[in-house]
Amino acid sequence: MAYNCLLLDADDTLVSFKDCERQALTKVLEKYNISATEENITNYHNINEALWQDLEKGKIKKHLIGKIRFQKFCESDDADAKNAEKMNRDYLAFLKEEAVLIDGALEFLADVEDYATIAIVTNGIEAVQMNRLKISGIADFADGIYTSEKVGATKPNKQIFLAALKDLGVENTSKVLVVGDRLQSDIKGGINAGLDTCWVNFDNQENNTNIKPKYTVQDYTQLKNIILEGLEDVIANKGKVQL
C-alpha cells in the first residue's frame, strides 16, 4: 500500500534532538559557569524528558516546562536557582540555532517528495522549531508545518493531525501515514486520529507499552519502502501520486 500524505514528526525523526540539546545545553552551562559534565547533561536531559512525558499524558501545560526544568536542574546541582528563567531563555535561543540532521534525513525527503504530500507535525516550541526546520533544510520539503502552538492541540490529541489534514486538503485518510519516534505522542496520536502509523525506532528500543504502531522501522530505507510500496511504475515514469 502506497501512502501519498506523510505527517512527520521532527525531533529524533528527522533532526537529532539529542545532539541539538547537548550543544545548546553546553553553551548555557558554560555561560553560567556550570561544568558541562556528562553527569550534568544527563541530569538535565532526564528532567526535561520526564516533563515532556507529563505533557504527553496531559499532566502539565507546555508553557510550564521551560519554567520548571532549569529550576529542578539548579536545585539538583546546587546551582543558583534564581538564574533558572534566564537559563531557559538562553537555552531556547541557543537551541533555535541548532539543527543537526539525522544521517539520511534530507535524502529520504528528496526520495519521497515527488510522490507524497509532506507535512511536519511537532509539539516543539513554534519559534524554535520554525527556525530549526528552516536552517536544516527540512522546511524546503514541507507542504505544511503544524506546531502544537499554531494548531492549539498537542500530540497525542488527534486534533493536531486532523487540523493538518484539513489545511492540506487531504480527504482520503487511508493514504495518510503518521511517522514519529515517540510512541506516547506520535503513534498514539496517529491512532487517536484513525490514521496508519509508523514508529521510527532508530535506537532499537523495546516497546513496553500497549501502543501498537502499524509499522516499525529501523532506518529510512525501510520507511521509504513502506511509503512507496507498489509504485514501481509510477516511480519509473517520474509521476506524482494524486491526493
Catalytic residues: 9
Helix (H) or strand (E) holding 231: none
Pairing status of strand 144-147 against strand 215-217: unpaired
CA dist., res. 86 & res. 83, Å (int): 5
Which of 222, 207, 212 lies closest to 191 in space, CA to CA? 212
Place of cell 540539546: 21
Backbone phi, then psi, for 79, in 5-degree steps? Answer: -95, 170
- Residue pair 165/131 in contact (Cβ under 8 Å)? The answer is no
- 192 Cβ partners below 8 Å, 6+ apart? 156, 157, 158, 161
